[in-house]
Structure 1
Amino acid sequence: MFSGINQLFVRLGDHPDLGKLLLRLTVGGLLLFHGEAKIIHGVGWIAHLLAVRGLPGFIAYGAYIGEVVAPVMVIVGLMTRPAALIIAINLVVATLLVKTGAFWDRTDVGAWALETEAFYLLGALTILLLGAGKYTLVRDMRLQ
């Protein structure tokens, strides 16, 4: 009985390329909202956080790359793996700048305080490991 149910789900759900597309659309699409906020409000506050830590403020402009350019690349499947790596690096830097010390914290509803950051970071790393799949504008180059 369990074997038959499992085989049914395998037949219905065995679409890894569609899963990769859904993951790319989810991570890239949701991250674009953060990029839109940077476009509307600027990155001056990020430059200030960097300056407080003794880092050059121009690094703040990397948020546009990590939250606008790279997510669009992930969505359309253009250089997906490098774009996913850029997103992952962006998330590590953003988390260190804004949420340092919150690793053990929880929200009022019991959620991990860093779960959004973890979702984007782990989603980007998963895209990096899986690649874009077949539903892209540009195919991943593979070594033969």
Structure 2
Amino acid sequence: MAKDRTSFKVIANNKKAYHDYFIDEVYEAGIALAGTEVKSIRQGGCSVKESFIKIKNGEAFIFNMHVNPYDHGNIFNKDPLRTRKLLLHKREINKLIGETTQKGMTIVPLRVYIKGSLVKVEMGLARGKKLHDKRQDIVKKDTQRASEREFKIKNL
């Protein structure tokens, strides 16, 4: 029985990116990984909290993505914080280059997940938030939580 390519399992999420940035566009990219890194990611040993994406010489790379060393990997384990290449089409890379040359635009990883048998990264083209924007988001979340709490109490 073949695995469905539409199903996916989220391994790592970057909640801080949604707090610090406005996400304009979302892209999906594959990652060039070693075998032991894939096994470690399947076990859930991955973090993208402090990572960022840069484009160098027409290729996209993810920096500071932490992949835990695989338990049974011995000498085949790679450096946990090594730079990894992202697999994108040339036209997507050219579009990202054009967008990031604008002031205040950057590329941030949003989540890492397994889609079928492949490890993918969801990345967003983002604009930085100012302090007052962050405060407005916090106020919105607090009011939404309060209204959900009231609704729950009323319906008991």
Shorter-chain TM band: under 0.3
The structure where strand makes up a greater share of residues is 2
Bigger helix share: 1
What TM-score, normalized to structure 1?
0.22
TM-score by length of 2: 0.21
